Amino acid sequence: MSSMIKITAILLAGQAVAAATLRPVTLSPSPRAAQTCYSGETATLTCYTAPNNTPQDVTVADITYVAAYLRSYGKQTKAGRMFTMNGADTPDCAEWTLYARNTVTALAKHISPPSVNSSVLFEDIANTIDGGATATDKQKQAAIIGCLTDGGSLGVVYNASSPAYNTAAYKAAGYVPGGILIKIVNSAGA
């Protein structure tokens, strides 16, 4: 594929660092450390607020930047770039780095069964993080950015009526737009 972006992935398990390659259509198996599967991780918005979670001490400006970058990257093709996590490639509950900026690392985690292949627009990932490019305060509160400096996680909120999810190729591949959890964590601890 002609447009590949190499990003540095900082993986959570054992502070291991590895390189991952983002491809417009799918991610092939990449070097990553085994992760612990948490049964409590759901697509519901979870802020990493004390005392039940560990606040991430991220900046809202960095969250905003990461969302804007992912939105811009996704719009570099007319149909919109897709981020794909095949269930077979994620049996160890790996968290893949989407992008990192200063205090923030944006991670993606496949939370569907291994038989499910999930594929979503980068724009929908960005909207999950910041509520949308022109988000209202209410939309921001429903997105990860609503967690402010604590960081948090949320299943990708996707636009089911988007043409990208209704193409013959998307349907033939057996993809679903659900099943990917987005996390905003501190880069130092990622």
The residue with greater pLDDT, 91 or 4, is: 91
- Please tell me the predicted confidence (pLDDT) of residue 1: 33
Burial of residue 50, with CB atoms counted within 10 A of its CB: 0-12 exposed, 13-18 middle, 19 or more buried: exposed
Check if the beta carbon of residue 58 is closer than 8 Å to that of residue 103: yes
CA dist., res. 177 & res. 166, Å (int): 10
Q: What is the pLDDT of residues 62-113, one digit of tens each?
A: 999 999 999 999 999 999 999 999 988 887 778 999 999 999 999 999 998 8
Indicate the pLDDT class of residue 36, thresholds 50, 70 and 90.
low
CA dist., res. 101 & res. 82, Å (int): 21
Q: Name the residue ranges covered by the structural domains of the chain.
A: 5-11+18-23+44-186
- Is the pLDDT at 147 greater than 60? The verdict is yes
CA dist., res. 58 & res. 102, Å (int): 9
- In this structure, of 89-93, 124-128, 152-156, the range with the lowest mean pLDDT score is 89-93
In the numeric block, which tokens belong to residue 116?
Answer: 């499910």
Check if the beta carbon of residue 190 is closer than 8 Å to that of residue 12: yes
- Please tell me the predicted confidence (pLDDT) of residue 14: 28
Check if the beta carbon of residue 186 is closer than 8 Å to that of residue 151: yes
CA dist., res. 170 & res. 16, Å (int): 34
Check if the beta carbon of residue 86 is closer than 8 Å to that of residue 120: no
**What rounded mean pLDDT belongs to the chain?**
82
